[in-house]
Every structure is written in C-alpha cells, then in structure tokens.
Amino acid sequence: MPGATLPTFTIDQVESHNSAKSCYVTVGKNVYDVTDFLDSHPGGANLVLDWAGKDIGAILKDGASHTHSDAAYEVLDESLVGFLESGNGASANGKAKGGDNGTEEQWVHPRTGMSCEEDLSKDTDYNADYKTHKFLDLNKPLFMQIWTGGFSKDFYLDQVHRPRHYKGGESAPLFGNFLEPLSKTPWWLIPVVWWPPISYVVYVAFSGFGSVAPVAGYFGFGLCFWTLIEYIMHRFLFHLDDYLPDNRVAITAHFLLHGIHHYLPMDKYRLVMPPTLFVVLAAPFWKFAHAILFYNWYAATAAFCGGVFGYTLYDMTHYFLHHQNLPAYYKALKKYHLAHHFLDYENGFGVTSAFWDKIFGTELVYNTKTN
C-alpha cells in the first residue's frame, strides 16, 4: 500500500478496534491492523488483545516481558493501515509522543526506514546495514553482489527502496574495475553533449520550413509531449516493480537502470543518464516522432528535438532537486520529489512537475510545508 495514501485515524477510532473481530494497535504515529495475526501470536491471542487499541511501542522494547524478533516487526510492516491524526499523539511534522513522560521520538516510515528528506543524506553504517538486512555490502562492488546474490524479486524490491547513503555523498563502487568511470556521469555533461546537436538539427528543420513559427510550434509540441513520456517511463519502465520478472537478469537490469538511484539517491554521479544509454532509449522515439508526424519530415525532426531538449531539462532538474538550493517554486518541487524517495516510491512519478501525477491519480500527498 502506498504509504502517502493511507488514511488517518483518531485515537478514539483506533481504541474502538479492540476485539478479536477487529484489532488495531499503534506504534507512535503508525496504525496497524493485527486481526489476522491474533491466532499466530506465540503468546496467544489474549496477550495481543490486552493491548488492542493501544500503543505497543513500549511492550515491543520491553525485554523483561519477552524479546520480539525481527519477524514481529515484519508482521507490523505488512499490517500498516494508516496513521494517527495530528493532535492525537502525533504532530504534523512526523514526530509522535513516545510515552508517559511526553518525550518525542522520530517517526520512521516502515517501508523505507526513513522519516524525512534529511535522512537521505545521513551516512549508512555499512557493516551494520549488511548485518541487519543481508542485502548489499557497500564496502564491495555492487554489480556482482546483485548478479550472484540470488535475491528474490520481493526481497530485492523491499531493500532497493530503503535508501542508503555512501560516505559523504561519494559514489559506491559498482564494478570495481576499469568499467567504474563509465558508470559515472556528471550533470554538466548532459547540456554539453546534447545541446549542440539539438541546435544543429533545429537549424536543419528551420531550413526546411524557412520560417521560425512552425519550427517553434513543433519544437514546443515535442517539449510538452516529453513531459508525458517522462511520466510514463518513470512509472512504467523505471518502476515496473510488480511486473519485474523474478530472475537475476531482470533484477540486475532494474538495478542498473533505476534501482541504484533509489538505493543510493544522493549519489551525484549516478543520477543523470549516461549519453550512451540515452541514445539507446531515444532511438525508438525518433521513429515514433516520424510515425506521428509522417506528413512532414522537418516537423517530426523539430518535434523530436523539442523532446530531446525536454529530456535534458528533466535530467538537470532531477540533479538540482537532489543537490542544489533552489528558488521557492523548485523548493516545493524538491520536497515533492525527495518524498518519492523517503516516503512513497509508488506515487509521485513526475520530476519536472506533478501535472501528470494529478491527471492519472498518482499525486504524492505530502505536506511540503513540513519537515
């Protein structure tokens, strides 16, 4: 369930779910429906029902009662049904009252392990992370670990969407050999590589029309159409999660294409698309543009250039959202996009704007004035 679209509950509503027919518990701000777990609880259903409608944060940590295994927390992760409303033991900035002493403890989203965008830039303890999750060791090249790890699709998707941060924002080793430099792309390479040929091909289109107006019109059409392509590719290619084949070839390809960005979202050199990869992805769109605007080669060429220019703006915007201090409008967009990483990776697919998210019902509901 996408975390940002789950409902909120008042304390009274949670407390009303206090029977074997419907048993809710809370941990801080999170609300869990553990009804289906009652009969499976090692201590019996009555032990859980004693805490029905209540916060179980303290009892989970109480070693004197009994130690709860990782499996108990996994059950909770799968049982999340919503969040407490602000003012009902939780505040709007994502902190929850922690107990009788009124202290506050940071709420952590169970699917990403993070509570706010600042967590994306906190260095990961490599050894502790590997010991806890048994996924990737950031001390070693990642490619062969993905290829030989034997990870199931479900485990891989769960882990790759729990962001990590390599020391100081540097790039984690991917190949560990001569291929390593080829896996890194600085953001400024995008305009340097693509704007000169775009300018030249636009000039070619202009020579066919002999007028600025039609070239500008088709270029603008391509630029606007790119925003839809951006949304479709991000949602259905980069996040094809449910349809990802459960084998190491597909998992490795997914990791190289987009998974590594969610795993290490603040890596400056694995954020924009390498030019060679873009050539492969862009080639079909050249044919697509000429199929749509088949009646005029120059029109299709101008539209294609507008689309490619839109891509360059997307890639640079994406980089700036992660790594630059931005004007007011872009600060809101920055918070929106970073929430896609730390809060809800199943919504918020628009990077340059949330327009298509609003159209297709995948807008990430997140208060950009908080956190």
| 290 labelled ligand-binding | no
- In angstroms, rounded to a whole number, what is the distance separating the alpha carbons of residues 311 and 190? 9
| 337 labelled ligand-binding | yes
Pair 123, 165: CB distance under 8 Å: yes
Q: Which two tokens stand for residue 150?
A: 């034997």
3-state secondary structure of 19: strand
3-state secondary structure of 193: helix
Strand 104-106 and strand 95-97: pairing?
Answer: antiparallel
| 133 labelled ligand-binding | no
| 165 labelled ligand-binding | no
| 109 labelled ligand-binding | no
| 239 labelled ligand-binding | yes
| 318 labelled ligand-binding | yes
DSSP state of 86: B
| 340 labelled ligand-binding | yes
| 262 labelled ligand-binding | yes
Pair 29, 90: CB distance under 8 Å: yes
- In angstroms, rounded to a whole number, what is the distance separating the alpha carbons of residues 248 and 259? 13
- In angstroms, rounded to a whole number, what is the distance separating the alpha carbons of residues 298 and 214? 10
Instruction: Kindly provide the residue ranges of all beta strands, DSSP E only, lying in 28-98, ordered along the sequence.
Output: 30-33, 80-84, 95-97
Among the listed residues 288, 318, 314, 287, the one whose alpha carbon sits nearest the alpha carbon of residue 227: 314
DSSP state of 55: B
Annotated binding site: 41, 68, 234, 239, 258, 261-262, 318, 322, 337, 340-341
Annotated binding site for Zn(2+): 234, 239, 258, 261-262, 318, 322, 337, 340-341
Annotated binding site for heme: 41, 68
